[in-house]
């Protein structure tokens, strides 16, 4: 069991990458703190963990709220005695996120509040807990667009994920001598609700697939497998990395559509 005796906290665990990761971590013997803002979805993830014989607890938390974030970390320590793995995964992609001219301040602010501030707050309250545990692993969900920029304008999302990438590198350097590793997980285009709500026709999906060398969308479970490596002691010499799981999209030369 690759995560035996470890306690892992996962935000955005009610769906997508977060849910698949929570279930996988539990199957590898981690005790999992399932965090989401959607109670029904979070409880469903917890039920799936239980059905697989795993151990977990659900906490409702808005990652953009300092008090909620402090509460979720405190729950990990009070319920399981420590925190070893912090997966700052929760994020949003707003339907009205466009270019600089057409993206409203409200959409910009909301996106930054969840995607960037949420990671900051997770680290703010999570790092002291990891110190108390003698070290651990932080995984921050960024995106391939933090490397490339998005062909379809989504400026706030892209900028927020670029911020996650930069923050991850700095935190990795700051805490490297404390046995705290900090890495960014950068998924490519995935077959999740977050992306498929935009690629809602076969034509739109085909146009996106042209740019992916592997010729298919990734699956949430494939990102979960990468998160498992970063959470486990197998990645003990990995910190400050931009862990790309993108089907080769950032390696390919493409022209705008």
Q: pTM of the predicted model, to two decimals? A: 0.93
What percent of the chain has pLDDT above 90?
Answer: 80
Domain boundaries in the chain? Answer: 7-242
Which residues carry out catalysis?
Answer: 157
**pLDDT tens string 42-69:** 999 999 999 999 999 999 999 999 999 9
DSSP per residue over the chain, as a string?
A: -TTTT-EEEEETTTSHHHHHHHHHHHHTT-EEEEEES-HHHHHHHHHHHHHTT-EEEEEE--TT-HHHHHHHHHHHHHHHS---EEEE------TT---TTTS-HHHHHHHHIIIIIHHHHHHHHHHHHHHHTT-EEEEEE--THHHH--SS--HHHHHHHHHHHHHHHHHHHHHGGGTEEEEEEEE-SBSSHHHHTT--SHHHHHHHHTT-TTSS-B-HHHHHHHHHHHHSGGGTT--S-EEEESTTGGGS-----
Q: How confident is the model at residue 190 (pLDDT cuts 50, 70, 90)?
A: confident
Q: In the CATH hierarchy, which top-level class contains the domain 7-242?
A: alpha beta
Question: In this predicted model, which residue has the larger pLDDT, 184 or 153?
Answer: 184
């Amino acid at each position: 069991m690759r995560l035996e005796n470890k306690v892992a906290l996962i935000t955005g665990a009610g769906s997508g990458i977060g849910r698949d990761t929570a279930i996988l971590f539990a199957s590898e013997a981690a005790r999992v703190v399932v965090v989401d803002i959607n109670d029904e979805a979070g409880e469903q993830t917890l039920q799936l963990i239980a059905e697989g014989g795993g151990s977990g607890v659900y906490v409702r938390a808005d990652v953009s709220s300092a008090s909620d974030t402090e509460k979720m970390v405190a729950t990990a320590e009070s319920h399981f005695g420590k925190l070893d793995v912090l997966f700052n995964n929760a994020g949003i992609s707003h339907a009205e996120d466009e270019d600089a001219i057409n993206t409203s301040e409200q959409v910009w602010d909301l996106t930054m509040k969840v995607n960037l501030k949420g990671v900051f707050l997770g680290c703010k309250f999570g790092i002291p807990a990891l110190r108390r545990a003698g070290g651990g692993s932080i995984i921050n969900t960024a995106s391939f667009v933090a490397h490339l920029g998005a062909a379809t304008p989504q400026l706030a999302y892209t900028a927020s994920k670029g911020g996650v990438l930069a923050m991850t590198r700095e935190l990795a350097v700051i805490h490297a001598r404390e046995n705290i590793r900090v890495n960014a997980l950068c998924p490519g285009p995935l077959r999740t609700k977050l992306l498929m709500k935009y690629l809602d026709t076969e034509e739109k999906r085909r146009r996106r697939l042209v740019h992916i060398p592997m010729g298919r969308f990734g699956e949430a479970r494939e990102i979960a497998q990468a998160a498992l490596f970063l959470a486990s002691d197998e990645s003990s010499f990995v910190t400050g990395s931009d862990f790309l799981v993108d089907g080769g999209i950032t390696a390919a030369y493409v022209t705008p559509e």
